[in-house]
Amino acid sequence: MAECPVVSTETGQVKGTVAHAKDLPDKPIYAYLAIPYAAPPVGDLRYRPPQPALPWEGVREAVEPGSYCPQNLEFLNSLDMAFKQGENMTMSEDCLTLSVFTPTVAVDAALPVLFWIHGGSLSMGMGAFPGLESLAAHQDVVVVSINYRLGVLGFLSTGDENMPGNYGFLDQVRAMVWVKDNIRNFGGDPERVTIFGESAGGVSVSYHLLSPLSKGLFQRAISQSGTWKSIPVNPQPLPLTKMLAEEAGCETEDTEILTACLKEKSSEELLEKVQSLQLKIGQVSFSPVVDGTFLTSQPMDLMQAGDVNTADYLLGVNNHEFGWLMLPFAIQGDPLAGISQEDFVRLTKAVASMVYRVSIDAIVAEYSLESDDPMAIQYQFSHLYGDLLFVSPTVMVADKHAGAGGRVFFYENQYRPSINAHRPDWVGCDHGDDIYMTLGMPFIDDHGSTNVTYSKTDEHVSLIMMAYWANFARTGDPSDSTGGPTDSSSLPTWPQYTPDNPVYMKLDVVPTTGTGLKLEKMKFWNEVIPKIASMQKDEL
């Protein structure tokens, strides 16, 4: 059995463990788990930008997944995913660590680096994902996966210098700096880093393309099912922060005293206060803010001005983002029962007013059906929700990025993994279904930890998606496998996307290209609706 080599980092030496993809037993992947990339953000360092990691003596055993950042794990694991997270781990504020999976630690290997940012609404999740060694093994890439501060500890803000916010994003930047400084010793190329993420991870990637702090720390970017518009900036964070402070028994008028008071509370108490506040006012979420450092202006203003990092960008959506996983939250009910026409109108107006601050009858008209079948109405509503929160923002960001001069590759994922066979037939490729494929989960050596069996077709699609993703990380073109371990000439060519020629890849058992994904609906969301919304606001 291969020994895991000791590697030097700028803060000390680490020794990891050896992992394998199940179909490549002779290819060891060296896994270095939970390496600190920043000082623990505790005590006075809570609600402050991350500080450099503290050095250690001797060789650090990097063999356990470490702690995950404070969050409501129960809710995360109640979701219908094929793997549970955080098992055999502890929750702690001392969670700013990353893990590295690499096929070699030769300093001259200069392999492309794929830097994974997990999803979970910026309020839950962790970097400890099953399958990352499979992606490293199959594609000869270095995979890095990180934790970052979440929710009340990661994105709370007073809107001023006492608690500017965006700490979770600043953690991600700090981890990228760590990669730049250290990844060469793990066989990676610090000048060939691709940041990629799903859902809130894809949202994060999209924000990094707008931040002056992230520039130069990565060369390419991938957003799976999420761009900044899916979790927009909160222009007025203070009222919610004051409500939370009041719930926690803190002073609310002076933000300096408020911040000092919240620093005194335990992370458990803060999580409890968020939950008690939710019972009073409904969903509580802490969002990105314009803090003047990570984000200097509203994202739309930055995009309109072309003030974006024009790194190569691969992005896309699944064809049924609200098919199952998040549907109960959207309809506030049982997806197996369907919804009535009255429910459809009420829910549509509610989501329209949430996103556009105005209620828009045009949306109801655009998506309403001449049907009384509760399941048909619900199916239509699930696509309305997906188009509003995922598809139209992703298309808009793709158009703006290409318009600013960046190379863009777009996809719609249509493959429904076999592990979701228990879901109703009407569910397509749902939110989160892409993770299994892009991270190589069908090739996990020990399925005991995930307790699911993948089909041969799942394996086939996973190989296709890993090849496209790693080719893009290597060359900036998902079809160009130059320097890669597998010949991708059998893969269908994935053309570049432009606003004038909006060609995209339909990812499936056999990938094919399409042009103008949901073109009429996209015009409706990205051109018609903003006009109606601004007219209605003018009348208010």
> Is residue 102 helix, strand or coil?
strand
Catalytic residue from among 157, 321, 392, 401: 321
Q: Which fold has domain 6-237+286-316+486-502?
A: Rossmann fold (3.40.50)
Q: Of the residues 67, 121, 145, 199, which is catalytic?
A: 199
Q: Is 376 exposed, middle or buried (0-12, 13-18, 19+ CB in 10 A)?
A: middle
**Whole-number Cα distances in Å, 211 to 121, 296, 301, 432:** 20, 8, 13, 26
**Active-site residue flag, 431:** yes
321 catalytic? Reply is yes
Q: Average pLDDT of 57-84?
A: 92
What's phi and psi for 248, nearest 5 deg?
-90, 0
pLDDT at 447: 57
Distance of CA 276 to the CA centre of its chain: 27
Cβ 491 vs Cβ 505: under 8 Å: no
Helices (H), 305-438: 327-331, 341-356, 361-367, 374-386, 392-403, 433-438
- The pLDDT, as a whole number, for residue 1 is 65
Beta bridge partners of 32: 100
CA gap 412, 433 in Å, rounded: 12
| Domain spans in the chain, listed from the N-terminal domain onward | 6-237+286-316+486-502
What angle, rounded to 10 degrees, do the helices at 132-139 and 456-475 form? 70
What pTM did the predictor assign? Answer: 0.97
From its phi and psi, is residue 92 left (phi > 0), alpha (psi between -120 and 50) or beta?
beta
For 309-358, write each residue's pLDDT tens digit: 999 999 999 999 999 999 998 898 899 999 999 999 999 998 888 887 77
74 given a catalytic annotation: no
> Cβ contacts of residue 17 below 8 Å, gap of 6+?
4, 30, 31, 33, 62, 63
- Lowest-pLDDT range of 287-296, 348-357, 378-387: 348-357
Selected catalytic residue, list 383, 431, 479, 488: 431
